[in-house]
Chains A and B, each alone.
Chain A
Amino acid sequence: MNDNVLTYKQLFWLFLSMQVIMNMLLTPSGSIMIAQQDAWLSALIAILISLVTLWSSIKVCARYPSMDFHVIIETIAGKWIGRLLSIFLLVSFTVVLAVMLRQYGEFVSGTVLPKTPISVIIFCILVTAIYPTFHGLGVIGRLAEIFGPILLLGIISPIILGIVNMDVKHLLPFWYDSGILAIITGSLGPAAFLTDCVLILWIFNLSEFHPNKIKYLTWSILTSGLLYLLSVTSIIATFGVKIASTHLYPFLILERYISIFGMIENLDAIVITVWILSIFLKICLYLFVTSYGFSMYTAKINRQKMVFYIAGIAFFLSLLPRNVVDISIEFPQVVGVPFILPFWVILPLFLSLTIFIKDKINKTQ
């Protein structure tokens, strides 16, 4: 069985639910540390960056709606440059996949399973993720359609229950402590997570044709960005800048701090389970795109076999970092923000610009 077709609704849920949790868990503290109480402005900028990326990616794909990305990029950028860029993109996806696996391992081991070796935690989710990926994108899409609404509930309900602990005065003074430079720098972390909508380059032609497709896609990225904005704001309003910026997972602490009449407490055990669904979808989608993409460049191995190879490589890579500091602080600073983020933003922009110019030239001729 190999069904790779997505409906436009599945596309919406897939992108929304795969982006939202990792971003909320991992980026707020860094962003708050840089932009202080104005981190919510950073979130707005991050949304803007991701929407630009999405828009240019869609422009590229919509120009050649039935072609695979490796064909598109070779048509636009020429055979060798196109091939090189596309492989670079796939390699960046693989690296990010490995980083995500490790982040997930550190998160689970740091919060619920402290004694379990990280390799075992990663192995378990990877084996589970291989199954739907092996059977195709359609399976992942249907999973997203089921998990998506549950995830939304798992994000919004803790924020609503936590309203009593919030105090908007923590958001003041406005602008003075940060400044425009700090706000933009603070937006890079969340932007790196939100711009992984470039994945659409590889799967756009795999989803059904529908007039609402682009609208739904934009809404999914926008919703995921706005949920991030909401979570950052509530984190600052609950804890203030100093505490929020020093915790590794401030959104989790927000969760644990909820106590309604002493009855509704310790929600984290339930919510972490829900959050893992999102991380699972993210791993599946990355695994699918990398295996699908790489299989186009190998003559004999088909996509399904490729899933195992990529999973193996990602598993191996994910075990390389030494500790949580390497993966959560060093990686974003040394590789993520200076290389991967600009590459993801500039590549679709460059491609769409080339298309625009080529079409202009063709028209005048």
Chain B
Amino acid sequence: MHRKHLNSFKIYITLILTSIILSGCWDVMEVNDLAIVIATGIDQIEEEQIEVTFLLYVPNPSGAASGEVSGSSKNSYSISMTGDTFSDAVMKLESEVPREIFWGHSNIFIFGSELAKNELGKQLDFLVRTAEPREQSQIYISQEKAKVEVDKFVSINTAELFSKLPKSRYLKSMTLKDIEEMLVNNSQAGLIPISNTNSVKTSEDTIDSFAVKGSAIIYQGKMISSISGEKDIGSQWLLFPKTNIPININPDGKNGKVSAETIKKSIKLSPLLEDKTWSIKIKINTDLLILQNSTSLDIYNPTVMNQMKKEFSKKIKADIEEFLNHIQKDLKADVLQFYEAFHRSYPKETDDVKENWEEQFENIKVSIQVEVKIKNPGVTNLNIENK
């Protein structure tokens, strides 16, 4: 009898002791007490002053239960904090907001262009050093102030939108890891997409939605230039292998245009060093899908198809050349990491020019070879205008 009591006593003690461990020690976090960071905007407001704008999602289960309109827009808040550095502003937010700040779902960081021009590298350090933001977070540089942009997102379902950004086949996106890698390489140059907003009309009012327009060129931790429009198409070919690109051509002597979209593309850099001439061959393979044909051409005809392929590759080559010329001759920023490509094949020779790579980079001869395959000319060959 006595033994039995002792045994059950042991079991009770064990249960009580394990319950202490179950609470997660000092780091207990209740979902109801959290403020989940969805997006972060970082601006420089004056010399040595950083303003950080957080888009917070505050889970509030009671709101949904009492029949109110539930959904993200009612639970989203934006709040701005200023501090000496990025991390200083984050600490201030943590000390002022009654809820626990949770970074696990933070998918996007937008840097204001003013800050990017002065000290992007310095503020990126915070993201790289702390364990909380994930390496998959997307980085953008905003056209205007990041605060203005983030404030606009309060009214739309941004958490959903931002979590799907990296999967988008059309929007350019770069992860923190990609940028980290570009900027620590010897070339110290990288490219970050520029974010902007689009106005969207709903039945009640006008709201602003997230958009990507153009790219910023980063060199030695600072943004040195931004490119957009025609010039920027080349960057999509060379640096964003997963996005689809629209292409329009005017076939020779025909009245009208043929539009297509890439379904798949791959890029290969092969550096060559001969007789002290540095040259690099860029080979691009792409599969196209024809979307519209407003000419009288019969695309199903194999000869026409071959002609189309040539026209398309000419257009693609021109786009890439424009972009390359700009970064190579005007900006002298090795965003394509040519240095690393050469270093892999010619380690000794690259080491010799390591110090004045900027000069060497400018003089690299680039040849571009584009191979186009028309995977799908469309499901019908009907030409509405020409009978």
Interface residues of A (CB under 8 A from B): 110-117, 120-121, 124, 169, 172-173, 176-177, 239-240, 242-243, 253, 256-257, 259, 261-262, 265-266
Contact = CB atoms under 8 A, between A and B. Distances in A.
B104 A115 contact: no
A262 B27 contact: no
B344 A259 contact: no
Contacts of B21: 124
A259 B345 contact: no
Contacts of A113: 24-27
30 contacts: A110-B131, A111-B131, A113-B26, A113-B27, A116-B26, A116-B27, A117-B26, A124-B21, A169-B344, A173-B343, A173-B347, A177-B347, A240-B181, A240-B185, A242-B181, A242-B184, A243-B181, A243-B184, A256-B134, A256-B136, A257-B134, A257-B136, A257-B177, A259-B136, A259-B166, A261-B167, A262-B163, A262-B167, A266-B104, A266-B134
A253 B184 contact: no
Contacts of A257: 134-136, 177
Contacts of B164: 262
B348 interface: yes
A173 to B, nearest CB: 4
Q: Is chain A's binding surface mostly helix, strand, loop or mixed?
A: loop
Interface in B333-351: 343-345, 347-348
Given A117-B26, A259-B136, A262-B166, 18 more contacts: A113-B25, A113-B27, A116-B26, A120-B26, A169-B344, A172-B344, A173-B344, A173-B347, A176-B348, A239-B181, A240-B181, A243-B180, A256-B134, A257-B136, A259-B166, A262-B167, A266-B104, A266-B134
A114 B94 CA distance: 15
Contacts of A243: 177, 180-181, 184
Contacts of A239: 177, 181
Interface in B118-156: 131, 134-136
A114 B27 CA distance: 7
Contacts of A120: 25-26
Contacts of A110: 131
B348 A115 contact: no
Nearest to A265: B136
A224 B131 CA distance: 28
A172 B270 CA distance: 14
Contacts of B180: 243
A-B CB proximity, top 8 nearest: A176-B347, A172-B344, A173-B347, A116-B25, A116-B26, A115-B26, A242-B184, A113-B27
Contacts of A240: 181, 185
Contacts of B343: 173
A284 to B, nearest CB: 18
B95 to A, nearest CB: 15
A257 B163 CA distance: 14
A279 B49 CA distance: 44
Given A172-B344, A172-B345, A176-B347, A253 B27 contact: no
Contacts of A177: 347
Nearest to B20: A124
A169 B21 CA distance: 45
Interface in B8-29: 21, 24-27
A115 B177 contact: no
B25, B104, B180 — which one has the most chain A CB atoms within 10 A of its CB? Answer: B25
A149 B26 CA distance: 32
A306 B331 CA distance: 70
A41 to B, nearest CB: 16
Given A169-B344, A173-B347, A239-B177, A112 B27 contact: yes
